């Protein structure tokens, strides 16, 4: 809702001549709950008060207005870590060894491993808490949105084009390798071994499939763009569809989560509907758990159930629920196995920072990492074959840095990792839409901590680099003289009311 004297944000600013008097505009949206317009707020363009001159080109671009976000308790990163990772670790510790025998593995997650896992969780949460002491404090006063429309559009189209080019190149290479329509139909028909055969044709290509890994940011930008313009972007639809494609035909559930969760988080936080229905907002974790079960069940129906259904010993529903439970609890158990295998012996810290070792050209210069003469993936498969089961091959996360760096080094790793996470969350809570987009992209890593450290994987590295440039551009603009002058004007208007 626009006040009297406020220029329309949808049309270019008609600047009066220098001889014509200029009237100040009331830029802030109404704050009274009784007069608040619940329609999406359209950011007006910046008005220029009397006596001010503007030679910067940004004076002719839209100025984002303060946004109204809804933050529930379950969005707090410390809550997620404790309620999800902490509870699953406790369940794994309390489960009897006979339960693991049913999953064809021995139990390795005992009291010492549980204690170290709790210590790692505490260190991570402490790092998030220390954010207020080791990062810059926000400026006093009303916090404005820092997501300028032309910047969002630029990043959205640039990263979206990179994703499209990556998928086009990947499709050409897969076709050259022999990927045909018949192979995709075989997956849909649930033919035995169809997915494995198709994955060989769709194997990742270094430097090509890497381009597709910024899809998570494109999805978050697409969702934010929808909240401000009500336009469903083609690039946003593209990354959502390709995520579904990879989940179905490449057996890669993570690819689907990477594009669904960032978009859903942005839509939920900025939703007027959610702000007016707090009970539903608080029930989102339950809805999310149901969504996880549905996605996991659908993917397993086209994968493992093809084999297990032939035994006829159980129905699909109890089987898939037990498998989902094993999916997470064996991750903690495997993490304890990894800790027992490598602690005290020289080894590369590959599992702590795999993105460094997987970086293109690293092995050519420094040599490939080796565990007893084997590549890390081969060594881990061999270890699971001997002591556990390769069927559940997640390596876990919390004990890995402790095994690689020692107790002090491992806890320091989690402490340092928690600082940027807490900083991005704090900035988002304070009103930064750029931080909201970044936090929605990082959010999946909090959910994946029981299985692995998502943020240190090579697949997340391109998105991490893009996020640093994205937030860095926002911070530089936020401290610019033009921006700070505008912020000072808003503070003067606020104090004059």
The 3-state secondary structure of the chain, one letter per residue: CCCCCCCCCCCCCCCCCCCCCCCCCCCCCCCCCCCCCCCCCCCCECCCCCCCCCCCHHHHCECCCCCCCCCCHHHCHHHHHHHHHHHHHHHHHHCCHHHHHCCCCCCCCCHHHHHHHHHHHHHHHHHHHCHHHHCCCCCCCCCCCCCCHHHHHHHHHHHHHHHHHHHHHHHHHHHHHCCCHHHHHHHHCCCCCHHHHHHHHCCCCCCCHHHHHHHHHHHHHHHHHHHHHCCCCHHHHHHHHHHHHHHHHCCCHHHHHHHHHHHHHHHHHCCHHHHHCHHHHHCHHHHHHHHHHHHHHHHHHCCCHHHHCCCCCCCHHHHHHHHHHHHHHHHHHHHHHHHHHHCCCCCCCCCCCHHHHCCCCHHHHHCCCCECCECHHHHHHHHHHHHCCCCCCCCCCCCHHHHHHHHHHHHHHHHHHHHHHHHHHHHHHCCCHHHHHHHHHHHHHHHHCCCCCHHHCCCCHHHHHHHHHHHHHHHHHHCCHHHHHHHHHHHHHHHHC
Q: Is the pLDDT of residue 32 over 50?
A: no
Q: How far apart are CA 172 and CA 174, in angstroms?
A: 6
Angle between helices 215-229 and 433-448 (to 10 degrees): 140
pLDDT at site 478: 53
Q: Is the pLDDT of residue 33 over 50?
A: no
* Most confident of the following: 69-73, 135-139, 462-466, 487-491: 462-466
Q: Name the CA radius of gyration of the chain, rounded.
A: 25
Q: Which of 11-15, 296-300, 352-356 has the lowest mean pLDDT?
A: 11-15
Per-residue pLDDT reduced to its tens digit, 301-360 = 888 888 888 876 788 999 999 999 999 999 999 999 999 999 988 999 999 999 999 888
Q: How much is the mean pLDDT over the chain?
A: 81
Distances (CA, A) of 494 to 141, 322, 368, 410, 488: 9, 57, 60, 47, 10
Q: Comparing 301 with 446, which gets the higher pLDDT?
A: 446
Q: Considering the entire predicted model, what is its pTM? A: 0.79
Look at the chain and count its residues. 497
DSSP 86: I
* Most confident of the following: 8-12, 52-56, 176-180, 346-350: 346-350
Q: Is the pLDDT of residue 19 over 80?
A: no
Q: Is the pLDDT of residue 466 over 90?
A: yes
pLDDT band at residue 204 using 50, 70 and 90 as cut-offs: confident
pLDDT band at residue 426 using 50, 70 and 90 as cut-offs: very high
pLDDT band at residue 192 using 50, 70 and 90 as cut-offs: confident
Torsion of CA 245, 249, 255, 260, to 10 degrees: 40
Q: What is the mean pLDDT of residues 172-199?
A: 85
Instruction: Please enumerate in sequence order all residues whose Cβ is within 8 A of that of 339, keeping only pairs 6 or more positions apart, or say none.
Output: 113, 116, 399, 400, 402, 403
């Amino acid at each position: 809702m626009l006040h009297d004297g406020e220029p329309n944000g949808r049309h270019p600013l008609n600047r009066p001549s220098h001889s014509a008097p200029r009237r100040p505009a009331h830029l802030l949206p109404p704050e009274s709950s009784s007069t608040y317009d619940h329609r999406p707020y359209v950011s007006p363009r910046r008005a220029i008060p009397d006596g001010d001159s503007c030679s910067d080109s940004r004076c002719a671009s839209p100025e984002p207005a303060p946004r109204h976000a809804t933050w529930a308790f379950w969005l707090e990163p410390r809550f997620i870590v404790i309620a999800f990772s902490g509870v699953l670790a406790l369940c794994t510790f309390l489960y009897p060894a006979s339960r693991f025998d049913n999953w064809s593995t021995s139990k390795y997650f005992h009291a010492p491993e549980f204690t170290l896992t709790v210590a790692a969780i505490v260190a991570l949460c402490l790092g998030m808490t220390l954010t207020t002491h080791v990062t810059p404090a926000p400026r006093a006063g009303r916090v404005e949105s820092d997501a300028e429309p032309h910047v969002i559009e630029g990043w959205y189209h640039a990263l979206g084009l990179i994703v499209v080019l990556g998928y086009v190149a990947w499709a050409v290479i897969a076709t050259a390798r022999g990927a045909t329509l018949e192979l995709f139909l075989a997956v849909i028909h649930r033919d035995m071994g169809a997915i494995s055969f198709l994955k060989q044709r769709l194997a990742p290509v270094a430097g090509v499939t890497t381009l597709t890994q910024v899809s998570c940011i494109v999805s978050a930008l697409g969702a934010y763009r929808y909240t401000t313009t009500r336009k469903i972007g083609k690039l946003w639809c593209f990354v959502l569809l390709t995520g579904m494609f990879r989940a179905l035909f490449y057996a890669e559930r993570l690819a689907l989560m990477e594009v669904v969760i960032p978009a859903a988080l942005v839509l939920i936080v900025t939703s007027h509907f959610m702000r007016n229905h707090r009970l539903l907002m608080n029930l989102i974790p339950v809805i999310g758990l149901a969504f996880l079960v549905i996605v996991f069940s659908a993917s397993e129906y086209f994968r493992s159930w093809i084999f297990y259904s032939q035994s006829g010993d159980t129905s699909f529903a109890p089987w898939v629920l037990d498998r989902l439970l094993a999916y997470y609890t064996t991750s903690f158990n495997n993490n304890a196995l990894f800790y027992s295998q490598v602690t005290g012996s020289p080894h590369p810290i590959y599992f702590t920072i795999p993105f460094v070792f997987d970086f293109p050209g690293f092995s050519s210069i420094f040599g490939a990492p080796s565990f007893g003469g084997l590549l890390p993936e081969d060594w881990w498969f061999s270890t699971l074959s001997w002591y556990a089961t390769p069927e559940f091959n997640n390596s876990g996360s919390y004990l890995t840095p402790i095994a690689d760096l020692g107790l002090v080094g491992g806890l320091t790793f989690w402490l340092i990792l928690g600082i940027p996470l807490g900083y991005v969350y704090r900035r988002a809570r304070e009103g930064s839409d750029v931080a909201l987009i970044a936090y929605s992209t990082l959010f999946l890593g909090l959910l994946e901590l029981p299985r692995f450290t998502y943020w240190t994987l090579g697949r997340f590295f391109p998105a991490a680099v893009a996020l640093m440039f994205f937030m860095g551009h926002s911070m530089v603009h936020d401290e610019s003289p033009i921006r700070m002058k505008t912020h000072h004007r808003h503070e003067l208007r606020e104090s004059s009311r």
